[in-house]
């Protein structure tokens, strides 16, 4: 049953959202990130591309404890927020490691480690330990299929032009993978092209679904490049041309259960973005739900916001939907130019700009 209540397109109450793609970082920065994620999400799927990466069950459990400790340092209630853990796949990840991770349960009976992340080696931040050849992982993928563990994919190759990497990945990797593992649950994370929309919506089986970020819904590559390079809009997958953005908005607001919220909120210190070789990633945890509300409102489908933010992702991961609610109001606020990020600062999405919706 939906909890969505819409008041004249000016106020909406929805089931509390989850974020199925979140970078919480490690060390002092984690508490800073949680200050933004905690009020907006009941659960976040924590990405494992730390340095060193979270490659084993033991490392995932240790990382989870550090996240919970950071919450406590903020005075946040662990009962109100659950970190969902992910293993970083390498060429050496074994079926035995998958089976070890799969049996771990939280006190409510849900899985502690819910997914494994496939990073093509060298494709994005801290992916150098990633997979060099998907075929090397076939025994491990068979174990994942057997225990029902989700495969999360950074859906890009590294040998194609940076604007073409996702479509090439679909042809070279996704289609054979789906054919070889017909019941493996798969999430194509942060899709960024009309080709990916078409593949997930019209060609992939129901066990293949996709998450969509706020930045890929509101920006195209012109926003990043025209009039000078804007390093804080550089992310991977890179922003694409306007027809791709339009296709993504259409997919997100369509009401199709194949698309759901995954912010890929990925903070880096401001100095690391504004450098001679700036790193990829956009920090959106502070306003992601509000941006999604703005996109759905402008598309005339605010009534579909709850399913995208709070239902379809949980259903895909086999996790019970949240029962508490969040209310947003069409009331503008201005994003600060920086936020605290451990001992540094982070420049957030929409820094110094207006966001049209507010969480009450």
Predicted confidence (pLDDT) at residue 125 exceeds the cutoff of 90? no
What does the pLDDT read at residue 1? Answer: 63
Q: How confident is the model at residue 122 (pLDDT cuts 50, 70, 90)?
A: confident
The predicted-structure confidence for 217-260, as pLDDT tens digits, reads as follows 999 999 999 999 999 999 999 999 999 999 999 999 999 999 99
Domain boundaries in the chain?
A: 22-283
Check if 264 is active-site.
Answer: yes
**How far is residue 43 from each of residues 37, 46, 81, 83, 92, measured CA to CA in Å?**
9, 9, 6, 6, 29
Q: 132-181: per-residue pLDDT in tens?
A: 999 999 999 999 999 999 999 999 999 999 999 999 999 999 999 999 99
Sign of the CA dihedral with 110 first, then 59, 20, and 145 last? negative
The answer to pTM > 0.85 is yes
* 31 touches 11 (CB < 8 A): no
Q: Does residue 343 have a pLDDT over 90?
A: yes
Predicted confidence at residue 121, as pLDDT, reads: 85
- For residue 33, pLDDT beyond 70: yes
Spatial separation of the C-alpha atoms in residues 20 and 35, rounded to whole Å:
18
Q: Tell whether the model's pLDDT for residue 129 goes beyond 70.
A: yes
- Predicted confidence (pLDDT) at residue 279 exceeds the cutoff of 70: yes
The single residue listed with the structure tokens 């939907």 is 321
Q: What mean pLDDT is predicted for residues 61-77?
A: 97
pLDDT above 90: residue 32 = yes
Q: Helix 242-252 and helix 288-298: axis angle, to 10°?
A: 90
Mean pLDDT of the chain: 96
Is residue 83 a contact partner of residue 64, using CB atoms and an 8 Å limit?
Answer: yes
Residue 285, pLDDT > 80, answer yes
Read off the pLDDT band of 215 (50, 70, 90). Answer: very high
Please state, in angstroms and rounded to a whole number, the distance separating the CA atoms of residues 59 and 331.
Answer: 42
Confidence category of residue 8, pLDDT binned at 50, 70, 90 = confident
Angle, alpha carbons 326-328-331 (nearest 5°): 160
Active-site residue (options: 18, 19, 264, 307):
264
Specify the pLDDT at position 177.
Answer: 98
Tens digit of each residue's pLDDT (9 = 90 or more) over 80-89: 999 999 999 9
Res. 316 pLDDT band, cuts 50 70 90: very high
Q: Burial of 162 by CB count in 10 Å (0-12 exposed, 13-18 middle, 19+ buried)?
A: exposed
Q: What are the φ and ψ backbone dihedral angles of 9, each rounded to 5 degrees?
A: 55, 20
**% of the chain at pLDDT higher than 90:** 93
pLDDT of residue 127: 73
Average pLDDT over residues 322-345: 97
**pLDDT range class, residue 360, cuts 50, 70, 90:** very high
Q: Cα-flanking dihedrals φ and ψ of residue 271, to 5°?
A: -65, -30
Tell me the average pLDDT across 314-330. Answer: 97
**22-283 — its CATH code?**
3.20.20.140
């Amino acid at each position: 049953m939906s909890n969505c209540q819409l008041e004249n397109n000016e106020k909406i109450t929805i089931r509390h959202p989850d974020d199925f793609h979140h970078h919480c970082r490690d060390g002092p920065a984690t508490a800073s990130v949680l200050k933004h994620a905690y009020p907006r999400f009941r659960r976040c799927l924590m990405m494992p591309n730390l340095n060193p990466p979270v490659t084993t069950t033991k490392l995932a459990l240790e990382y989870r404890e550090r996240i919970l400790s950071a919450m406590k340092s903020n005075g946040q209630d662990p009962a109100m927020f659950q970190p969902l853990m992910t293993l970083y796949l390498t060429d050496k990840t074994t079926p035995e490691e998958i089976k070890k991770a799969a049996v771990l349960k939280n006190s409510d009976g849900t899985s502690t480690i819910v997914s494994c992340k496939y990073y093509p080696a060298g494709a994005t931040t801290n992916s150098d330990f990633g997979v060099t050849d998907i075929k090397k992982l076939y025994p491990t993928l068979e174990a994942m299929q057997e225990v029902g563990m989700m495969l999360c994919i950074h859906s890009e190759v590294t040998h194609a032009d940076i604007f073409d990497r996702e479509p090439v990945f679909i042809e070279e990797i996704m289609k054979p993978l789906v054919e070889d593992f017909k019941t493996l649950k798969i999430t194509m994370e942060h899709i960024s092209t009309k080709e990916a929309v078409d593949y997930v919506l019209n060609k992939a089986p129901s066990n293949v679904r996709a998450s969509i970020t706020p930045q890929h819904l509101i920006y195209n590559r012109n926003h990043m490049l025209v009039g000078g390079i804007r390093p804080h809009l550089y992310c991977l997958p890179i922003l694409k041309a306007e027809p791709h953005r339009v296709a993504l908005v259409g997919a997100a607001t369509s009401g199709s259960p194949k698309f759901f919220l995954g912010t890929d909120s990925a903070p880096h210190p401001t100095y690391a973005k504004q450098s001679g070789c700036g790193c990829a990633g956009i920090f959106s945890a502070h306003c992601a739900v509000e941006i999604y509300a703005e996109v759905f409102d402008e598309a005339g489908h605010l009534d579909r916001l709850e399913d995208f933010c709070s239902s379809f992702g949980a259903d895909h991961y086999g996790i019970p939907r949240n029962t508490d609610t969040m209310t947003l109001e069409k009331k503008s606020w201005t994003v600060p130019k920086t936020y605290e990020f451990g001992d540094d600062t982070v420049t957030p999405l929409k820094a110094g700009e207006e966001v049209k919706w507010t969480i009450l």
